[in-house]
């Protein structure tokens, strides 16, 4: 099929894009309030983000709101960029290189709305490169983060580079990096042994480790996977993933909204904190960004991009209902099946070799680990709010799986059959899941904030402000 310009559908609304921009900003404020942990102010911002998200999906088209959104969305994005940049600058170390780089990213983001069209592409390129350099400089200054996820990725990369299985605890002993008296706070029963090592292997799907590996090998000379004598830092991959995600976001649609959404995403208040602590969500965000770019501009590769996305983290399976928003027309079920089996083949090619390497230990690490993780009273979750006001009785851990049912139904029922509608559905489902989970911190909401920025970036601007382009379709 030949490509055509996709115009906003009945439900793909500019008012919804305005709502998602505001929701992204509120989520940024929520994770900024207490470093992504529970606090009264954080839960208020999270609740506001949830209300706006539901309204952005459920509220029907109102001409006055649509007209207002087209007039003010650019200004709202600019205000959000400036406010977030001020908060991010306030939280960085007094490193003049980092401060100068963040100021440069902010100015370049603002110029996306003011510069002539011929200058926007080079400004975008400079903006994403500048952010990558800032993030790298920041984590180099930050040093060892003292968090288990960093140890998992570093030692897992070392083991894999030696041709060993990172999912087998007898091959690699992941140490408990926290004080022994805090072990039960962070890990479930039986996770830490008498030698203060973990009894589980690498707890993430293999694609995230494969994405870390080039960064680990970069500049390394001696790899000793029996000790903490590591090679290059895996956080290079995270910094580059953030920058590439923003680049894809800026290039997905014509006009100014995509580049401005990319700047808003880069400057979310805890973006550098996410890199410093080596959370894997930037890798997930990159693969989601590839999905969104393909959905907007390269439909032929969309199923394979989806395969990469679903192979990255366990909770991506929650996005399956939103796939209905990527197909439309009389053959939508056939198209959905074709997309699913191709995506499933990619997941299988990446994951099954690691599973067959040691099925039991792989299942323990990737699946059962998640089931034994404890309830965290410091999580940014409404379950913690309930816990604090019901005599400290823990709510049922199945609560998030119940909450996502109405979220998924609402997303599919009211969502636009478009890339923007898909991003909105993914955001709403994941936000509901995290907001009522036993563990939910800065990294989880970082991904949701990124996917909400993608709703804005994937929404077509007004026809009068865009130039024709071809979107390659199957």
Maximum mean pLDDT: which of 63-77, 184-198, 202-216: 202-216
Q: Render pLDDT for 447-463 as a digit per residue (tens, 0 to 9).
A: 999 999 999 999 987 75
**Separation CA 193–CA 32 (nearest Å):** 35
* Mean predicted confidence (pLDDT) in 20-37: 94
* Mean predicted confidence (pLDDT) in 155-161: 92
Residue 331 predicted with pLDDT over 70: yes
* Mean predicted confidence (pLDDT) in 287-293: 98
pLDDT score, position 232: 81
238 and 274 Cβ atoms separated by less than 8 Å: yes
Model confidence at 170, in pLDDT bands (50, 70, 90)? Answer: confident
109 and 127 Cβ atoms separated by less than 8 Å: yes
This prediction's pTM: 0.91
Q: Between the CA of residue 354 and those of 299, 358, 359, what are the distances in Å?
A: 29, 7, 8
| Torsion sign over Cα 467, 322, 268, 298 | negative
* Mean predicted confidence (pLDDT) in 401-411: 95
- 9 occurs within a structural domain: no
Report the SS3 class of residue 472. Answer: strand
Give the total number of structural domains in the chain: 1
Q: Render pLDDT for 92-118 as a digit per residue (tens, 0 to 9).
A: 766 888 999 999 999 999 999 988 888
* Mean predicted confidence (pLDDT) in 120-126: 93
pLDDT score, position 391: 83
- Of 261, 248, 269, the C-alpha closest to 45 is 269
Residue 244 predicted with pLDDT over 80: yes
- 3 occurs within a structural domain: no
Portion of the chain with pLDDT greater than 90, in percent = 68
- Of 52, 70, 130, the C-alpha closest to 466 is 70
Report the SS3 class of residue 464. Answer: helix
For 47, the domain range is 14-465
Report the SS3 class of residue 197. Answer: strand
* Mean predicted confidence (pLDDT) in 153-159: 93
- 473 occurs within a structural domain: no
Residue 77 predicted with pLDDT over 70: yes
- 6 occurs within a structural domain: no
| Core vs surface per residue 32-53: b (16+ CB within 10 A) or e | bbbbbbbeeebbebbebbbebb
Contacts of residue 290, Cβ cutoff 8 Å, sequence gap at least 6: 248, 305, 308, 309
- Of 274, 271, 281, 277, the C-alpha closest to 309 is 281
Residue 71 predicted with pLDDT over 60: yes
- Of 442, 363, 463, the C-alpha closest to 42 is 442
- 247 occurs within a structural domain: yes
Residue 220 predicted with pLDDT over 70: no
* Mean predicted confidence (pLDDT) in 322-327: 94
**Mean pLDDT across the chain, nearest whole number?**
88
Running DSSP on this structure, what letter comes out for residue 394?
P
pLDDT score, position 12: 57
- Specify whether the backbone of 255 is left (phi greater than 0), alpha (psi in -120 to 50) or beta: left
Contacts of residue 32, Cβ cutoff 8 Å, sequence gap at least 6: 87, 91, 269, 270
Q: Between the CA of residue 359 and those of 171, 197, 346, 367, what are the distances in Å?
A: 15, 21, 19, 11
- 272 occurs within a structural domain: yes
- 1 occurs within a structural domain: no
- 64 occurs within a structural domain: yes
Portion of the chain with pLDDT greater than 70, in percent = 91
Model confidence at 265, in pLDDT bands (50, 70, 90)? Answer: very high
């Amino acid at each position: 099929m030949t490509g055509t310009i996709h115009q906003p559908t009945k439900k793909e609304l500019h008012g919804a894009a305005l709502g998602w921009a505001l929701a992204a900003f509120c989520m940024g404020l929520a994770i900024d309030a207490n470093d992504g942990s529970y606090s009264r102010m954080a839960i208020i911002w999270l609740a506001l983000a949830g209300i706006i998200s539901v309204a952005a999906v459920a509220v029907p088209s109102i001409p006055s709101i649509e007209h207002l959104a087209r007039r003010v969305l650019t200004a709202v994005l600019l205000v959000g960029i400036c406010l977030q940049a001020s908060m991010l600058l306030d939280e960085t170390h007094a490193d003049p290189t980092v401060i100068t780089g963040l100021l440069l990213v902010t100015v370049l983001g603002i110029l996306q709305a003011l510069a002539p069209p011929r200058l926007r592409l080079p400004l975008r390129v400079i903006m994403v490169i500048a952010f990558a350099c800032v993030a790298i400089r920041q984590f180099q200054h930050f040093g060892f983060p003292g968090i288990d996820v960093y140890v998992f990725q570093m030692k897992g990369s070392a083991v894999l580079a030696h041709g060993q299985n990172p999912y087998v605890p007898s091959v690699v002993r992941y140490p408990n990096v926290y004080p022994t008296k805090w072990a039960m706070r962070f890990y479930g029963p039986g996770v830490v042994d008498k030698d203060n090592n973990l009894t589980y292997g690498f707890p993430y799907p293999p694609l995230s480790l494969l994405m870390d590996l080039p960064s680990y090998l970069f500049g390394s000379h001696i790899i000793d996977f029996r000790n903490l004598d590591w090679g290059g830092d895996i956080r290079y991959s995270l910094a580059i993933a953030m920058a590439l995600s923003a680049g894809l976001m800026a290039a997905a649609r014509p006009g100014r909204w995509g580049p401005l959404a990319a700047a808003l995403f880069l400057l979310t208040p805890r973006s550098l904190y996410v890199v410093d602590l080596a959370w894997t969500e930037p890798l997930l965000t990159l693969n989601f960004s590839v999905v969104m770019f393909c959905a907007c501009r390269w439909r032929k590769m969309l199923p394979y991009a989806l395969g990469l996305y679903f192979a990255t983290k366990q909770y991506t399976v929650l996005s399956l209902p939103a796939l209905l928003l990527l197909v439309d027309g009389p053959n939508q079920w056939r198209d959905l099946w074709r997309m699913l089996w191709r995506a499933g083949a990619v997941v299988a090619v990446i994951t099954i070799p690691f599973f067959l390497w040691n099925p039991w230990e792989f299942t323990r690490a990737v699946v059962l680990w998640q089931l034994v993780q404890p309830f965290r009273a410091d999580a940014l979750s409404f379950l913690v709010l309930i816990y604090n006001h019901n005599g400290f009785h823990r709510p049922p851990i199945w609560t998030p799986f119940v909450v996502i049912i109405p979220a998924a139904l609402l997303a599919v029922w009211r969502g636009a059959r478009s890339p923007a509608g898909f991003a909105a559905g993914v955001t709403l489902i994941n936000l509901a899941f995290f907001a009522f989970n036993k563990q939910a911190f800065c990294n989880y909401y970082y991904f949701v904030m990124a996917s909400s920025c993608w709703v804005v970036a994937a929404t077509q601007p007004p026809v009068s402000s865009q130039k024709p382009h071809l979107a390659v379709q199957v």
